[in-house]
Amino acid sequence: QVQLVESGGNLVHPGESLRLSCTASADSGITFSINGMGWYRQAPGKQRDMVATITSRGGTNYEGSVKDRFTISIDNAKSTVYLQMNSLQPGDTAVYYCNADLRTYSSRGGHKRVNSWGQGTQVTVSS
């Protein structure tokens, strides 16, 4: 019912920057409100870990190793969350997934809380 589409992943050298974007959209007849969105990453052979999250009001939370290098932001009007990643390191190499905590509303009435994931975008940092 709700889709998340990510973009911005790429191959970069250490020290370079990337900006990831993720936009939420819904099927016809469905509207939604955002409770919060976030970015997670999964390196080969490892579990998926939180990178950064943001509430619709702008409250943020970061994983310790990215706190001084990454910035998460949200544009509620565009239903889009961004992750600005600076000073990228090889250890940042992973598939980055967008997550959204939403409340959906049906044109036929009723609402429910939904947690959705994007398909992932690859970030590779290598010299």
- Tens digit of each residue's pLDDT, the chain (127 residues): 899 999 999 999 999 999 999 999 998 889 999 999 999 999 999 999 999 999 999 999 999 999 999 999 999 999 999 999 999 999 999 999 999 999 999 888 889 999 999 999 999 999 9
| Structure confidence at residue 106 (pLDDT) | 86
With beta carbons less than 8 A apart as the criterion, state whether 49 and 42 touch: yes
CA angle 52, 6, 54 (to 5 degrees): 25
| Alpha helix (H) residue ranges in 7-124 | none
| Structure confidence at residue 18 (pLDDT) | 98
| Structure confidence at residue 107 (pLDDT) | 81
Q: Which of these, 65, 36, 30, 33, lies nearest to 51 by C-alpha position?
A: 65
| Structure confidence at residue 28 (pLDDT) | 85
* N- to C-terminal Cα separation, the chain: 40
With beta carbons less than 8 A apart as the criterion, state whether 109 and 35 touch: no
| Structure confidence at residue 108 (pLDDT) | 82
| Structure confidence at residue 43 (pLDDT) | 96
